[in-house]
């Protein structure tokens, strides 16, 4: 088996590690400068906190990766990604993958609000969904399968692009990402005059100290992130367990690793 990483895999790993580290570092910098946790750091913490769910998500949507990718150790919780476990770049990479489109969505949403006078909540939610959907469509639907970073072994009949081929992509994955980006875009884009998002406003109302408020904000954003991810993961799990994910290519996707069975 060839263990050398392709240029596409190197690019993907670089995006995960460098992008995640940069967003995390910038969030810490903004928090120090601000004197309290910045919304960018909060959403980064949220993203990495629920990254462990990616492994059962991969299993449910039949996402499969090249065998040469480094994987998380066997003790990783619910390490169900087929072919060796969750890629080790996923935890830090979740920051880059989720925060970048949220930043884009928040910026576009604010611009639309300023230019057209649209209402903030509805605009941020709508723009967040659109950006998240397009992001997943490009990243998961084209970049990943076409460049050999990952593929989807099986999809639901009639709900995928390029169905039956190696490059098939379940469009409902993009819908899930759009729903998640609605939340993250809202948390980044809707802030009060002090720069606080809705979670920070809530935590400030529950604690009179900065430390207490910060701890509450972290706990809340972690809970919100898990609820958000769980809500979009549940339909994937239900359709997988219900036997509705049935369509896929017959070729061996990543030799010598056998395809994930239905």
Q: State residue 21's pLDDT score.
A: 98
Q: Alpha-carbon distance 141 to 150, whole Å? A: 10
* pLDDT tens series, the chain, 262 aa: 557 899 999 999 999 999 999 999 999 999 999 999 999 999 999 999 999 999 999 999 999 999 999 999 999 999 999 999 999 999 999 999 999 999 999 999 999 999 999 999 999 999 999 999 999 999 999 999 999 999 999 999 999 999 999 999 999 999 999 999 999 999 999 999 999 999 999 999 999 999 999 999 999 999 999 999 999 999 999 999 999 999 999 999 999 999 999 9
Q: For residue 254, what are the β-bridge partners?
A: 257
The rounded distance, in Å, linking the Cα atoms of 217 and 108 is: 25
Per-residue tokens: 215? 């701890």
Please give the pLDDT value at position 2.
54
Cα 214 to Cα 198: distance, rounded to the nearest angstrom: 13
CB crowding 210-231: b at 16 or more within 10 Å, else e: eeebbebbbebbbebbbebbee
For 209, phi and psi rounded to 5 degrees? -110, 155
pTM comes to: 0.95
* Residues linked to residue 87 through DSSP beta bridges, in sequence order: 71
């Amino acid at each position: 088996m060839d263990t050398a990483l392709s240029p596409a895999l190197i690019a993907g790993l670089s995006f995960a590690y460098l992008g995640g580290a940069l967003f995390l570092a910038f969030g810490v910098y903004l928090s120090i400068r601000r004197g309290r946790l910045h919304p960018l750091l909060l959403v980064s913490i949220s993203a990495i906190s629920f990254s462990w769910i990616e492994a059962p998500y991969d299993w449910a949507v039949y996402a499969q990766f090249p065998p040469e990718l480094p994987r998380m150790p066997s003790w990783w919780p619910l390490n169900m990604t087929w072919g060796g476990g969750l890629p080790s770049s996923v935890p830090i990479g979740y920051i880059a993958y989720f925060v970048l489109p949220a930043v884009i969505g928040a910026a576009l949403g604010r611009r639309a609000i300023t230019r057209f006078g649209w209402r903030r909540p509805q605009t941020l939610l709508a723009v967040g969904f659109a950006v998240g959907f397009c992001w997943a469509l490009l990243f998961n639907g084209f970049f990943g399968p076409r460049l050999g970073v990952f593929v989807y072994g099986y999809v639901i009949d009639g709900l995928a692009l390029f169905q039956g081929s190696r490059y098939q992509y379940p469009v409902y994955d993009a819908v899930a990402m759009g729903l998640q980006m609605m939340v993250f875009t809202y948390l980044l884009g809707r802030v009060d005059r002090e720069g606080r998002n809705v979670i920070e406003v809530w935590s400030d109302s529950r604690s009179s100290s900065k430390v207490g408020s910060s701890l509450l904000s972290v706990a809340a954003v972690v809970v919100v992130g898990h609820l958000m991810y769980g809500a979009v993961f549940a339909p994937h799990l239900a359709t997988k367990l219900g036997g509705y994910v049935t369509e896929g290519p017959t070729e061996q996707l990543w030799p010598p690793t056998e395809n994930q069975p239905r």
